[in-house]
């Protein structure tokens, strides 16, 4: 039987260089979504209902629950006379339509960059094109985007192999769009395959993968090659966090997704002199500091924050909360 792990004394702690990615953590869309729920609670009082997790982070969701937010999966769980907030991932058109039928006041916390994809989808359908959507099956953002167009107007692909399996006639008017939280490198390969197979396919003027997703992946590419271990703070259902794990692994590092500092096993640090640390777009900076403090219980931590993209994006709140 293995002996229990002993926290080393201060004298015995070996140094651990921690490369902290920048940017990391909350993006403008997540900031906005959380503020919408908090302001709704201030304006209307508790409870305020939220359809689906406002963002994919248990710490954030639990914090909002403590303030009076109630999270539900469907609108029939929302009683009359209380406001309901739609999550940052976006919802099908049928959801606000149902809210109106029920007489529910709703606040739409959909990230504006996701809303932009929704508008692009509508325009492509109006132009008579079938949409090939690059995304992950079952993700709320994918479900919401598919719900912007008539049934049958969009086909999902996840991989190059899915593109190879498409059977549209060569003269079919096609367009492609993508989920905002995908792997930049993988998506480039899928889009290249689409363009090779269907040269006339129409794409967006700028890529749909959001600035925060791209920036966080680029930051991991900075820290991972120098790290034996990379920890990514994020939820298992967070697409952008899972992509950060994949990016780190492709750079040759061992990468682990954690939700809180308590998930870290001290054995992971065996033989590690340099590790990387980042957080997905739904993870608050509080959790980054929590991890640093936890690591400090076992090792003499030397923090190094790498320079990265300077993010200054701010999104407006819904009019109901600003008037």
pLDDT tens by residue, 167-201:
999 899 999 999 999 999 999 999 999 999 999 99
Determine the pLDDT at residue 90: 96
- pLDDT tens for 241-276 read 999 999 999 999 999 999 999 999 999 999 999 999
Determine the pLDDT at residue 207: 80
Question: At residue 18, does pLDDT exceed 90?
Answer: yes
Q: Could you list the active site residues?
A: 141
Determine the pLDDT at residue 95: 96
With cut-offs at 50, 70 and 90, classify the pLDDT of residue 14.
Answer: very high
Phi, psi of 281, deg, nearest 5: -70, -10
Question: At residue 2, does pLDDT exceed 80?
Answer: no
Determine the pLDDT at residue 307: 87
* Architecture, CATH, for domain 112-197: 3-Layer(aba) Sandwich (3.40)
**Quick check: do 15-26+211-305 and 112-197 share a fold?**
yes
Determine the pLDDT at residue 80: 87
Question: At residue 3, does pLDDT exceed 60?
Answer: no
Question: How many CB atoms within 10 Å of residue 259?
Answer: 17
Q: What is the DSSP letter of 188?
A: H
Work out the percent of the chain whose per-residue pLDDT is above 90.
91
What is the mean pLDDT of the segment spanning 120-139?
97
Q: Does residue 20 contact residue 288 with C-beta atoms inside 8 Å? A: yes
- pLDDT tens for 192-232 read 999 999 999 999 987 889 999 999 999 999 999 999 999 99
* 28-111+315-321: CATH number: 3.40.50.11270
Determine the pLDDT at residue 8: 53
- pLDDT tens for 119-128 read 999 999 999 9
- The edge-to-edge listing of strands for the beta sheet with 48-51 is 69-72, 48-51, 84-86, 106-108
Helices (H) and strands (E) in the chain, counts: 10, 12
Determine the pLDDT at residue 10: 47
- pLDDT tens for 41-76 read 999 999 999 999 999 999 999 999 999 999 999 999
Give me the residue spans of the domains in the chain: 15-26+211-305, 28-111+315-321, 112-197
With cut-offs at 50, 70 and 90, classify the pLDDT of residue 12.
Answer: low
- Please state, rounded to an integer, the average pLDDT across all residues of the chain: 94
Query: What's 15-26+211-305's CATH class?
Result: alpha beta
The torsion region of residue 177 among left (phi > 0), alpha (psi -120 to 50) and beta comes to beta
Tokens of 247: 């990016």
């Amino acid at each position: 039987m293995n002996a229990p792990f002993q926290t080393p004394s201060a004298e015995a702690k070996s140094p651990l260089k921690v490369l902290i990615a920048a940017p990391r953590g909350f993006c403008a869309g997540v900031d906005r979504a959380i503020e919408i729920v908090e302001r709704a609670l201030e304006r209307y009082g508790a409870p305020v209902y939220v359809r689906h997790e406002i963002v994919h982070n248990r710490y954030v969701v639990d914090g909002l629950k403590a303030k009076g937010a109630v999270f539900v999966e469907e609108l029939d769980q929302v009683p009359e006379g209380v406001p309901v907030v739609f999550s940052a991932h976006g919802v099908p058109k049928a959801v606000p339509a149902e809210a109106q039928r029920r007489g529910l006041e709703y606040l739409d916390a959909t990230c504006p960059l996701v809303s932009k994809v929704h508008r692009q989808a509508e325009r492509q359908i109006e132009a008579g094109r079938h949409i090939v959507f690059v995304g992950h099956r079952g993700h709320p953002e994918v479900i919401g985007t598919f719900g912007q167009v008539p049934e049958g107007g969009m086909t999902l692909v996840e991989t190059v192999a899915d593109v190879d399996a498409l059977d549209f006639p060569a003269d079919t008017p096609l367009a492609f769009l993508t989920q905002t939280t995908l792997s930049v490198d993988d998506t480039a390969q899928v889009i290249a395959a689409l363009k090779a197979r269907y040269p006339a396919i129409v794409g967006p003027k700028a890529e749909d993968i959001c600035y925060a997703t791209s920036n966080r992946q680029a930051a991991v590419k900075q820290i991972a090659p120098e790290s034996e271990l990379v920890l990514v703070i994020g939820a298992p259902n967070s697409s952008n966090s899972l992509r950060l794990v994949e990016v780190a692994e492709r750079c040759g590092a061992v990468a682990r997704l954690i939700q809180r500092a308590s998930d870290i096993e001290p054995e992971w640090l065996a033989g590690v002199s340099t590790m990387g640390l980042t957080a997905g777009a739904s993870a608050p900076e509080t959790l980054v500091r929590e991890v640093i403090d936890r690591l400090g219980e076992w090792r003499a931590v030397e923090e190094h924050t790498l320079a990265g993209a300077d993010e200054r994006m701010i999104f407006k709140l819904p009019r109901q909360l600003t008037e």
